[in-house]
């Protein structure tokens, strides 16, 4: 084994021909060395002492010839203790999820080098933000209760087998909770005084599982128990490639805390975009150097999500839209109205139309850090007792309502109310101008038993349930229909904000508000109902249909005026959330419509030919295509 000075530039263990270069940083100038272990037996085989020639300040870098990267693992002794390499591309010792046999080796894990020859076969889909619909899931939770065999549960193999179901739903983008390596076992280190009055360090498993993986992780290594151990890097790349082959995007959540250095944060974001071809990264954590992270020139083509950006960062965006704000603002605006917590329809209206040319937003009615969508209409209080914190953890402000019974019930009336409320919530999310997000399982009524913080519930509570009953089937079909409606009507998902005036001189504003009387000038705080008209002429697509959305969050039905449209356009009923989508129904009145309490009605304005005995929708799209082809023919003849 021969040593030479490393390059001090690229942290971690990197292979260059016959050399493995180890580069890492210390915080003191104490003695430092690298322990090399046999990857199968975990026996120490070599110790590489870091002398002054391999140091540059507090950075150590040594290139080693004569080691096989596939047969070794390693640790770094520095600052008086044996540590993992925070830049390791593979972690050895956690190949099996929550493996109790690790106690025999004091739960020790080792750094290692990912070696694979995978070549991506499919390009990224490059889906425009206006076309995105996100489906958020947890790799393990999504696959544990889905009828798979035990070898496919909790890992990428099971996920790939379920990919067709996600495609069938109609979403465009999959957001994964952490896929990088993290410690799932609740390992606790303590010091005791033994019977000989000597101190001993004790390492024990508390039994509490870090199910989500939001604690400090190993940010450059795929989760071995998700992706098949030693072939984790290959298998994860293959999975991402398979997702891309279906035309879907991949967003990875990465959770940082104050113990993670700015350098590790920055390098890890670039790493996943470069090495694993991910389309986007959702950064989690408070008080992060977010300005530095998201303005990296390496990440200008990567979609980045965060709960709040500094104004100067958003104002400085000029190249392309790749920064997105993802927070609970839409959720609370909607849930307060639905569950009668004195919400304001004006707040929901503002959140529904939030958009910007340079940056975007994400809307959702439920997310992993709170109640599922079903539970927000089935539980009046959180029930987190199983988390072991005396129900003190989790959000106390949920704006939820059980509608007469706490938890699941066989009462048909209550279940009907809950199903209707879930449809209304999904409808509202899909009709917002921002990117909609669906939490996995919400499309079939998944429940967590009222637990709104399942960070440690690696069990039936935290796993997503996919029932096949009538309730679940009806809700899934409605969700699919709403996704289709969103895709087919681009006016409701424009990339730029609405101006609420007729700047194209079409006869009506791009966006306008209506109530019992048409053309409302303002929205009072006392109002719980609102009609929102999207003018189809402002669509950049061939579909120029007008869309009128009537939101009624009163208990009783409400009358909505139908604004008169230009030309031959007439109003048709597309859907009310008390029922399902069907054929468009011509509205005889054309002056007003009654909307049931707590529901949303969608109307479509279409060019129509009316005779004494028939009503016929005119297909202006075909007429425009015919007109264009005729013009081209005339031009060619000339």
DSSP structure class, residue 424 = H
Together in a domain, 351 and 415: yes
* Domain span at 555: 525-629
Together in a domain, 196 and 342: yes
Q: What is the CATH number of the domain that holds 24?
A: 2.60.40.10
Together in a domain, 253 and 363: yes
Q: What is the pLDDT of residue 621?
A: 56
Closest CA relative to residue 468, chosen from 138, 172, 174, 165: 165
Domain ends where: 491, 514, 533? 491
Q: What is the pLDDT of residue 622?
A: 47
Q: Give tens-digit pLDDT for 308-333.
A: 999 999 988 888 899 999 999 999 99
Together in a domain, 543 and 464: no
The answer to whether residue 625 scores a pLDDT higher than 60 is no
Residue 281 lies in a domain: yes
Residue 289 lies in a domain: yes
Pairing of strands 558-561, 511-514: unpaired
Mean pLDDT within 212-225: 97
Residue 500 lies in a domain: no
What is the secondary structure of 223-282 as a DSSP string? -HHHHTGGGHHHHHHHHHHHHHHTT-EEEEEEE--TTS-HHHHHHHHHHHHHHS--SEEE
Residue 518 lies in a domain: no
Verdict on whether the full-model pTM lies above 0.75: yes
Domain count, the chain: 3
Together in a domain, 146 and 281: yes
Secondary structure class of 222 (helix, strand, coil): strand
Q: Give tens-digit pLDDT for 481-531.
A: 999 999 999 999 999 999 999 999 989 999 999 999 999 767 777 789 999
Domain ends where: 54, 78, 112? 112
Together in a domain, 60 and 150: no
Residue 351 lies in a domain: yes
Domain ends where: 448, 466, 491? 491
The answer to whether residue 135 scores a pLDDT higher than 60 is yes
Instruction: Compute CA distances 311 → 69, 282, 485, whole Å.
Output: 45, 19, 34
DSSP structure class, residue 540 = S
Q: What is the pLDDT of residue 298?
A: 96
Question: Angle, nearest 10°, between helix axes 470-488 and 412-431?
Answer: 20
Residue 55 buriedness (CB in 10 A; 0-12 / 13-18 / 19+): middle
Together in a domain, 248 and 358: yes
Q: What is the CATH number of the domain that holds 589?
A: 2.60.40.1180
Reported as a pLDDT band with limits 50, 70 and 90, residue 1 is confident
Residue 84 lies in a domain: yes
Together in a domain, 144 and 103: no
The answer to whether residue 632 scores a pLDDT higher than 50 is no
Together in a domain, 14 and 149: no
Q: Give tens-digit pLDDT for 87-107.
A: 999 999 999 999 999 999 999
Q: What are the backbone angles phi and psi of residue 265, rounded to the nearest 5°? A: -55, -55
Together in a domain, 148 and 62: no
Instruction: Mark 357-395 as b/e (b = at least 16 C-beta within 10 Å).
Output: eebbbbbbbbbbbbbbbbbbbbbbebbbeebeeebebbe
Mean pLDDT within 55-74: 97
Question: Across the chain, what does the average pLDDT equal?
Answer: 93
Together in a domain, 152 and 107: no
Question: Greater confidence, 540 or 154?
Answer: 154
Residue 534 lies in a domain: yes
Residue 420 lies in a domain: yes
Together in a domain, 308 and 410: yes
Q: What is the pLDDT of residue 636?
A: 47
Question: Which helix or strand (DSSP H or E) is residue 293 part of?
Answer: helix 290-294
Mean pLDDT within 574-598: 93
The answer to whether residue 181 scores a pLDDT higher than 70 is yes
């Amino acid at each position: 084994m021969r040593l030479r000075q490393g390059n001090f530039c690229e942290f971690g263990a990197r292979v260059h021909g016959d050399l493995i270069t180890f580069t890492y940083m210390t915080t003191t100038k104490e003695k430092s060395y690298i322990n090399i272990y046999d990857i199968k037996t975990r026996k120490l085989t070599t110790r590489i002492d870091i002398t002054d020639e391999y140091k540059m300040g507090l950075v150590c870098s040594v290139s080693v010839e004569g080691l096989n990267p596939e047969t070794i693992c390693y640790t770094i002794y520095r600052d008086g203790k044996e540590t993992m390499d925070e830049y390791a591309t593979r972690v050895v010792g956690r190949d099996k999820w929550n493996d109790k046999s690790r106690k025999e080796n004091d739960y020790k894990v080792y750094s290692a080098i990912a070696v694979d020859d995978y070549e991506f076969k499919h390009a990224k889909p490059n889906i425009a933000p206006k076309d995105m619909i996100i489906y958020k899931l947890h790799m393990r939770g999504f696959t544990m209760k889905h009828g798979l065999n035990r070898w496919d549960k909790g890992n990428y193999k099971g996920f790939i087998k379920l990919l067709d179901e996600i495609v069938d739903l109609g979403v465009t983008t999959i957001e994964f909770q952490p896929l990088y390596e993290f410690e799932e076992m609740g390992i606790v280190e303590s010091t005791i005084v033994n019977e000989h009055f000597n101190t001993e360090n004790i390492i024990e498993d508390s039994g509490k599982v870090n199910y989500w993986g939001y604690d400090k992780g190993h940010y450059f290594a795929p989760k071995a128990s998700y992706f098949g151990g030693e072939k984790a890097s290959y298998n994860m790349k293959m999975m991402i490639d398979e997702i891309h082959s279906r035309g879907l995007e991949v967003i990875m959540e990465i959770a940082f805390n104050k113990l993670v250095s700015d350098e590790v944060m920055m390098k890890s974001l670039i790493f996943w975009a470069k090495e694993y071809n991910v389309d986007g990264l959702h950064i989690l954590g408070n008080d992060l150097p977010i300005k530095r992270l998201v303005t990296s020139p390496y990440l200008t083509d990567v979609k980045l999500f965060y709960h709040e950006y500094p104004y100067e960062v958003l104002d400085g965006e000029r190249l392309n839209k790749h920064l997105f704000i993802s927070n609970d603002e839409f959720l609370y605006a909607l849930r307060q109205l639905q569950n009668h917590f004195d919400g304001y329809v004006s707040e929901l209206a503002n959140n529904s139309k939030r958009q910007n040319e340079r940056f975007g937003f994400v809307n959702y009615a439920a997310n992993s850090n709170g109640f599922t969508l079903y539970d927000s209409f089935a539980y009046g209080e959180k029930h987190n007792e199983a988390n072991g914190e005396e129900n003190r953890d989790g959000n106390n402000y949920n704006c939820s309502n059980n509608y007469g019974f706490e938890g699941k019930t066989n009462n048909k009336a209550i279940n009907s109310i809950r199903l209707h409320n879930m449809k209304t919530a999904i409808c509202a999310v899909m009709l917002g101008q921002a990117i909609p997000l669906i939490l996995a399982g919400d499309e079939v009524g998944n429940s967590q038993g009222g637990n709104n913080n399942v960070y440690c519930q690696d069990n039936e509570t935290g796993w997503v349930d996919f029932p096949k009953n009538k309730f679940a089937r009806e809700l899934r079909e409605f969700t699919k229909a709403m996704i289709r409606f969103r895709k087919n009507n681009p006016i409701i998902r424009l990339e730029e904000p609405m101006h609420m005036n007729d700047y194209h001189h079409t006869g009506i504003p791009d966006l306008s508000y209506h109530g019992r009387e048409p053309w409302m000038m303002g929205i009072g705080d006392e109002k719980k109902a609102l009609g929102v008209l999207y003018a189809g002429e402002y669509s950049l697509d061939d579909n120029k249909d007008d869309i009128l959305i009537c939101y009624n969050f009163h208990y009783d039905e409400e009358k909505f005026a139908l604004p008169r449209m230009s030309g031959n356009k007439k109003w048709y009923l597309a859907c009310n959330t008390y029922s399902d989508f069907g054929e468009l129904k011509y509205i005889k009145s054309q002056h007003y419509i009654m909307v049931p309490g707590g529901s949303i009605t969608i109307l479509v304005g279409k060019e129509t030919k009316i005779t004494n005995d028939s009503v016929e929708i005119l297909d202006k799209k075909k007429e425009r295509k015919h007109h264009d082809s005729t013009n081209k023919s005339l031009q060619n003849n000339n």
